[in-house]
Amino acid sequence: MNTLSYKTVSANKKTVNKQWVVVDANGEILGRLSTKIAMIIRGKNKPDFTPNVDCGDNVIVINADKVKLTGNKFSDKQYVSYTGYPGGQRFISPKELMAKHPTRVIEKAVRGMLPKSRLGKVLFGNLHVYAGDQHPHEAQNPKAI
């Protein structure tokens, strides 16, 4: 009996094969796009996925300003933040946020789908979002999805 086939292989920092991926958000629905991005960043699409290791790919999102929200979420949804002062609760809609910072809508959606730990902070660093169709990561030879 071959017992080598029963060994569980766990990835670590040295054995992980990280790549660069470009995702075009033009006309995509925010939630569906964000789940795909979060899965790639986390590394769940790879056969050597290990939950406690950064084994995902680096994701570049272009055309973030052209992402869509279904229904009335573009005007009715509220992002809540707190300044730390009494009465410092702030609300902003995706419409207002897209006008000021078009990349933050995708960043907030993906960050909410990553782990809330030190690993989640490291994984979030693998996301690069740009409003236009240009990005400065051509040297990494990213593959398009």
Q: What is the pLDDT of residues 45-76, one digit of tens each?
A: 998 899 999 999 999 999 999 999 999 999 99
Q: Which residues contact 1 (CB under 8 A, 6 or more apart)?
A: none
Cα–Cα distance measured from residue 115 to residue 19, given in angstroms and rounded to the nearest whole number: 21
Distance CA 3, CA 14 (A): 25
pTM comes to 0.91
Beta-strand pair 20-24/89-92: unpaired
Mean pLDDT of the chain: 94
Distance CA(128)–CA(112), nearest Å, equals 16
The residues spanned by each domain of the chain are 17-67+99-144
Q: What integer pLDDT is reported at residue 3 of this predicted model?
A: 66
Tell me what percent of the residues of the chain surpass a pLDDT of 90: 89
Q: Is 80 helix (H, G, I), strand (E, B) or coil?
A: strand
In angstroms, the CA 92 to CA 78 distance is 6
Q: Which CATH class is domain 17-67+99-144?
A: alpha beta
Residues 106-115 have a mean pLDDT of 97
Residue 6 has pLDDT above 80, yes or no: no
Residue with tokens 């994984």: 123
Structure tokens at 133: 């169709």
